[in-house]
Structure 1
Amino acid sequence: MKRATTVGALLAATTLLLAGCNANPTTPSTSSSSAPVTKGGDLTILTSQTELSFDPAKSQSLAITSLGLVERRLTTWDITPGQEAKYVPDLATDTGTASNGGKTWTYTLKDGLTFDDGTPITSADVKYGLERSFAPELSGGLGYHKALLAGAADYAGPYDGKELDSIKTPDDKTIVFELNTPYGDWPWIASMPAFSPVPKAKDTEPATYGEKPAASGPYTIESYQQGVALKMVRNPKWDASTDAVRTAGPDTITFKMSQDATVAAQALIADSGDAATSFGAQFVPPAQLAQAQNNPSAKSRLVTSEPGALAYLALNTQRGDLEDVKVRQALQYAVDRQAFLVASGGELAGAAATTLITPGIPGREEYDLYPAPAAGDPDKAKQLLADAGHADDLDLTLVTGNDTVSLAQAQALQQGFEKAGVKVTLQPLDANTLTERVTSGSGDYDLYIGSWQPDFPSPNGNIQPLFDSSQIGSGGYNISRYQDADVDAAIAKATGEVDQAAAGAQWAAIDKMIMEDAPVVPLTYTKNSFLHGSKVQNFAIGAFPAYPNYLKVTLAP
């Protein structure tokens, strides 16, 4: 998924921003009080979305959110607060066996797996489900596998009778994937929506399959009214003994759609009626976040994630004075992270960042190559600029979103750089123009504020999309236009490493290797806050992702 966006646009869209700086925030909780798993009750999830599709070919749903309640994958995520995320078996007996140097991955399905109508789940159903994701009419889903499966470049799905030969099913329980390159993170890829099984016999109308898909998880969709509600009920054929990550507490789960974030948050704060058995799928808006902090009852039901997505300042390494690594290193000291954080809403909105690999990602190593006070070190920056021959003449353009939040963040950085003698001119653009400007081939900009949330918790997801030279231009998100042959080679080696501990060490070394060249300035790791009703239990956010784990939520008896 393309996650890079202006931080301001991201915050405005999700209403994460706080009003002003909370100078003395209370340490947030990442979970409501843990309680025994209870069965029963009707859970409601309040969402601003006007449309929900449970078609795995079209979905970008995280493994622990909506789609994971209905459709299982070969692997899935084990998410526990205070612990790094890890992949675990789901439909498969293990997380995959690699061979051929990491280019071939083999899975065996568990015994006793069935769809909600009692039909056995076979390897052919997984293969067909994955092949559907290549059909042009079912676009929009996560597509990492499309670039990795051998011979897939010209494949257009199964609806013309063709199969993808690099997905083999020698029997009903075995499925084998042949890749065009070694890929150690394939078990993460196998946890994505497209790896959900789809029975060919049920795929008679692909355009509407997502309204009532064949269920392999603990719930099946009973009804769907676009823009209004989607209701799930228990899948009587789901076998808990085959499923270690889903607790299936509530009897029913209803997604109440088209909910204004402010209205939903106010209802959850009041905690009356159905709100007591509800939680919000969207971030808490600024006014209600402040209100909840001052309300003891609501505060106990406010759950804030640990630091997550990376907000960063991209420095166009192929542009003028920024081609000089000494200039880029000087800017690391000149940046005022404190002012940027204030503009982003204060300490409940994030924490200062120094690394490219984000918190909660296995293999991450904490370090700071450019230690400075929170407000920066203008004197150090001036000295480095003078050494580089730019004592007072550095003049840069920062392209930014034209919304209020983006402008405030850009102005905070502008004022910080001014203290170091660096002139920064702001160029506000609408969202579409801005994205085109920074991801196209022209590179007509100096600086850009972006945000990146990987789709799976591997350092690969942090590093490769932002810093591999193949991702420059043509819609790619190497917005710093960073190009280094040694880094590209190191990325390729780490990508192919099957041993996860060895891969983690390699990625940590690459993180530092890139930051020595200073193509970006890490700014903050952003946080998300959510509210739930008083009868909602086991509502928790792990170290990754910065969203609640729907699969574990239960209701008080």
Structure 2
Amino acid sequence: MVSKSPAPLLTRRTVLAGSVLAGLGATSFLAACGANERQGSSSGQGSSSAPAKGGTLTVLVSSTATNFDPAKSQSLAITSLGLVHRRLTAWKVESGKPAQLVPDLATDVGSTSDDGTTWTFTLKDGLTFSDGSPIRAADVKWGLERSFAASFSGGLTYHKDLLAGAAGYAGPFEGAHLDSIAAPDDKTLVFTLARPYGDWGWVASTPAFAPVPEGKGAEADYGLKPVSSGPYVLSTVQQGVKLELTRNEHWDAKTDDVRPALPDTVVFSLGQATDVVSQRLAADSAADQSAFGAGFVSPAQLVQVANNPAAKDRLVTSQSGALAFLSLNTRRGALQDAGVRKAFQYAVDKSAFQVATAGTAALAGEIATTLITDGIAGREEFDLYPTEKTGDPAKAKELLAQAGHPDGLSGLTLLVSQSNNGPAQAQAIQASLAKAGITVTLQVLDEDAYYAAINTVNAQEYDLALASWQPDFPSANANLQPLFATSAIGDGGYNSARYSNPAVDAAIATAQATVDTDAAAKAWVAVDKAVMADSPVVPLIYTRNSFLRGSKVTNFFIGAFPAYPNYLAVGVSS
């Protein structure tokens, strides 16, 4: 996943760029406050002792345009889209705890009778849209089918790759339908997959599983006037200025266990400069007392916040976050040799990368040694290449010599996005590699060119690339498959190492097909170790995110995953 600058919807593109991570659509690479570095694991509450109903909550974001079309969205289940659209399943996120999969529109998280190929869901009683019409299984089917239409592309695609017979399907607007999405009655949905897939319950929490009234949503601007299934409706749209959500009178709290819907009104204030947002929230005056920033607090601003006693108590920091890593293009020159690639595990000074990221290790995040990020159930700590955090240049030179390169490596290119502090991070990598006899030239690209290079084979040749990744849902599956499966090379995929190993592909398929949660977790740890043994990437740090809130914002916290505030829980005090 990659990032640009904070928008109300957290997208995949917001979490993969070389030095950029996402707030709600994007912002600078991570930060946390040493003076408050673990507050994200505590209550992170506002000024009142208990969350209260009522009032207006304002979210300050830097993007100037957005929409609430579930087919086009890559929004995490706990961010802004979740205020308007429910899905079959949801995430229960609590302070300091891993996210749990829970029912949303459905009565449970899905059941399978054939080891993961067929999944059945039953809708709850009493579900209605904001127009007062009942939410039926056919509406969920229609919403999913609608996501296949070319004019509504851009959302997450897990379901498109998994549903049987979906290849070549172009949506329902010409009368064609997918037999692999069956709605035999108003309450029942049956999904037939092309292969067993144990995480289908998590996939059912992605935006495309939001219902759209059957026959509606053909218009291009549906995202600006959607029919809501959640506690809020989009009532005011002033693109470039603000979006305003007000209560959906047809939403029934008795059917919804994850959305307390505390504020009467939620306003997304658009086009706000990130540093100015931090200054405003630190000052905590007038309406800003009931606001929070969608974007990360920058390292420079964190220093100021840490020195402001009134403000630092309102800073909430994640325990961890996205994995930042150095990709080694396994199709290029000497990097085709795993022996050469292993030298990079020792050559990189991860502590220098921390400093380049946020000034200090405490602000940047913990040193990374595995690919499965913190906060994912079943994750295992291990280190196949134990060394000092400053690296071991002598060991790296030794491994290069053993691989037939006694004079080191020269002429390599390192791809990085010019956004935010990407060049500084790349320079830190460049300097540490030089100590190990590896000379690197930086290729600094704008964001669009960077993404094109990562997502398209041969769009831009490179040997190394700085990247980061936040999973789309809390499963190791979403950590590993998008980055290391052969199928994720090019064609819009995020396998920036161009890594292809048939044994790993088979292990990924086995892990994906495992329905038992504990067994699946063990299978994914085995994949993590197998990939690391091949060394297609160097894990750098598990980044941290810090967010600032006004003094009247309540119930503002970050769970163990994802590293963002739970928008669905936030309220304001009077």
Q: TM-score, normalised by structure 1?
A: 0.95
- Provide the C-alpha distance between the structure 1 equivalents of 2:453 and 2:209, rounded to a whole number of angstroms: 34
**2:386 — aligned with what?**
371
- Provide the C-alpha distance between the structure 1 equivalents of 2:13 and 2:221, rounded to a whole number of angstroms: 25
Secondary structure, in 3 states, of the residue corresponding to 1:550?
Answer: coil
Secondary structure, in 3 states, of the residue corresponding to 2:421?
Answer: helix
Residue deviations 1:205-235 (CA, integer Å, cap 9, x gap): 5222222322221112222221112212222
**1:385 — aligned with what?**
400
1:99 to 1:445, Cα distance in 2 relative to 1, 3 A: same
Q: Retained in 2: the 8 A contact 1:438–1:444?
A: no
Name which of 274, 283, 294 aligns with 1:261.
274
> Number of residue pairs matched?
553
- Provide the C-alpha distance between the structure 1 equivalents of 2:390 and 2:365, rounded to a whole number of angstroms: 15
Shift of residue 99, structure 1, vs aligned partner: 2.6
- Provide the C-alpha distance between the structure 2 equivalents of 1:10 and 1:374, rounded to a whole number of angstroms: 22
Q: Verify: 1:426 aligned to 2:442, yes or no.
A: yes
- Provide the C-alpha distance between the structure 2 equivalents of 1:210 and 1:432, rounded to a whole number of angstroms: 24
Q: Retained in 2: the 8 A contact 1:309–1:525?
A: yes
- Provide the C-alpha distance between the structure 1 equivalents of 2:505 and 2:531, rounded to a whole number of angstroms: 10
Question: Which amino acid counterpart does residue 349 of structure 1 have in structure 2?
Answer: A
**1:397 — aligned with what?**
413
Residue deviations 1:41-62 (CA, integer Å, cap 9, x gap): 1111111121231111112221
- Provide the C-alpha distance between the structure 2 equivalents of 1:549 and 1:194, rounded to a whole number of angstroms: 20
Q: Retained in 2: the 8 A contact 1:127–1:167?
A: yes
- Provide the C-alpha distance between the structure 1 equivalents of 2:526 and 2:155, rounded to a whole number of angstroms: 31
Residue deviations 1:150-175 (CA, integer Å, cap 9, x gap): 11112111111222111111111001
- Provide the C-alpha distance between the structure 2 equivalents of 1:163 and 1:193, rounded to a whole number of angstroms: 19
What are the residue-to-residue correspondences of 1:24-43 with 2, within 5 Å?
26-30=36-40, 31-33=43-45, 35-43=49-57
Shift of residue 201, structure 1, vs aligned partner: 5.5
- Provide the C-alpha distance between the structure 1 equivalents of 2:216 and 2:451, rounded to a whole number of angstroms: 39
Shift of residue 117, structure 1, vs aligned partner: 3.0
**2:3 — aligned with what?**
none
Where structure 2 has 5 or more consecutive residues not aligned to the other structure, the ranges are 1-11
1:471 to 1:208, Cα distance in 2 relative to 1, 3 A: closer
Q: Retained in 2: the 8 A contact 1:278–1:536?
A: yes
**1:362 — aligned with what?**
377
Q: Retained in 2: the 8 A contact 1:70–1:220?
A: yes
- Provide the C-alpha distance between the structure 2 equivalents of 1:242 and 1:404, rounded to a whole number of angstroms: 43
**1:236 — aligned with what?**
249
Shift of residue 146, structure 1, vs aligned partner: 1.0
Q: Retained in 1: the 8 A contact 2:97–2:559?
A: yes
Where structure 1 has 5 or more consecutive residues not aligned to the other structure, the ranges are none
- Provide the C-alpha distance between the structure 2 equivalents of 1:323 and 1:59, rounded to a whole number of angstroms: 36
Q: Verify: 1:142 aligned to 2:153, yes or no.
A: no
Q: Verify: 1:531 aligned to 2:541, yes or no.
A: no
Residue deviations 1:514-536 (CA, integer Å, cap 9, x gap): 11111110011111111111011
My pick for the range that moved more, 278-287 or 66-75, is 278-287
**Sequence identity (%):** 58
- Provide the C-alpha distance between the structure 1 equivalents of 2:215 and 2:430, rounded to a whole number of angstroms: 59
My pick for the range that moved more, 225-234 or 531-540, is 225-234
What are the residue-to-residue correspondences of 1:55-94 with 2, within 5 Å?
55-94=69-108
**1:107 — aligned with what?**
121
Shift of residue 296, structure 1, vs aligned partner: 0.9
Question: Which amino acid counterpart does residue 447 of structure 2 have in structure 1?
Answer: A
Question: Which amino acid counterpart does residue 96 of structure 2 have in structure 1?
Answer: G
Q: Verify: 1:285 aligned to 2:319, yes or no.
A: no
Shift of residue 74, structure 1, vs aligned partner: 0.3
Secondary structure, in 3 states, of the residue corresponding to 2:370?
Answer: coil
Q: Verify: 1:413 aligned to 2:425, yes or no.
A: no
Question: Which amino acid counterpart does residue 29 of structure 1 have in structure 2?
Answer: Q
What are the residue-to-residue correspondences of 1:129-528 with 2, within 5 Å?
129-200=143-214, 202-203=216-217, 206-345=219-358, 346=360, 347-395=362-410, 396-402=412-418, 405-442=421-458, 444-528=461-545
Shift of residue 26, structure 1, vs aligned partner: 4.5
Residue deviations 1:387-421 (CA, integer Å, cap 9, x gap): 22322232233233345722211111121122222
Question: Which amino acid counterpart does residue 37 of structure 2 have in structure 1?
Answer: T
- Provide the C-alpha distance between the structure 2 equivalents of 1:242 and 1:93, rounded to a whole number of angstroms: 9
Q: Retained in 1: the 8 A contact 2:120–2:191?
A: yes
Q: Retained in 1: the 8 A contact 2:20–2:29?
A: no
Question: Which amino acid counterpart does residue 352 of structure 1 have in structure 2?
Answer: I
Secondary structure, in 3 states, of the residue corresponding to 2:568?
Answer: helix
Q: Retained in 2: the 8 A contact 1:3–1:452?
A: no
Question: Which amino acid counterpart does residue 6 of structure 1 have in structure 2?
Answer: A
- Provide the C-alpha distance between the structure 1 equivalents of 2:143 and 2:22, rounded to a whole number of angstroms: 34
1:240 to 1:368, Cα distance in 2 relative to 1, 3 A: same
1:371 to 1:409, Cα distance in 2 relative to 1, 3 A: same
- Provide the C-alpha distance between the structure 2 equivalents of 1:29 and 1:306, rounded to a whole number of angstroms: 8
Question: Which amino acid counterpart does residue 190 of structure 2 have in structure 1?
Answer: V
Secondary structure, in 3 states, of the residue corresponding to 1:107?
Answer: strand
1:99 to 1:370, Cα distance in 2 relative to 1, 3 A: same
Question: Which amino acid counterpart does residue 526 of structure 1 have in structure 2?
Answer: T
Q: Retained in 2: the 8 A contact 1:336–1:416?
A: yes
Q: Retained in 1: the 8 A contact 2:180–2:192?
A: yes
- Provide the C-alpha distance between the structure 1 equivalents of 2:420 and 2:296, rounded to a whole number of angstroms: 18
1:328 to 1:408, Cα distance in 2 relative to 1, 3 A: same
Secondary structure, in 3 states, of the residue corresponding to 1:77?
Answer: strand
My pick for the range that moved more, 321-330 or 238-247, is 321-330
1:3 to 1:463, Cα distance in 2 relative to 1, 3 A: farther
Shift of residue 551, structure 1, vs aligned partner: 0.6
Name which of 11, 14, 17 aligns with 1:6.
17
- Provide the C-alpha distance between the structure 2 equivalents of 1:6 and 1:210, rounded to a whole number of angstroms: 26
1:26 to 1:529, Cα distance in 2 relative to 1, 3 A: closer
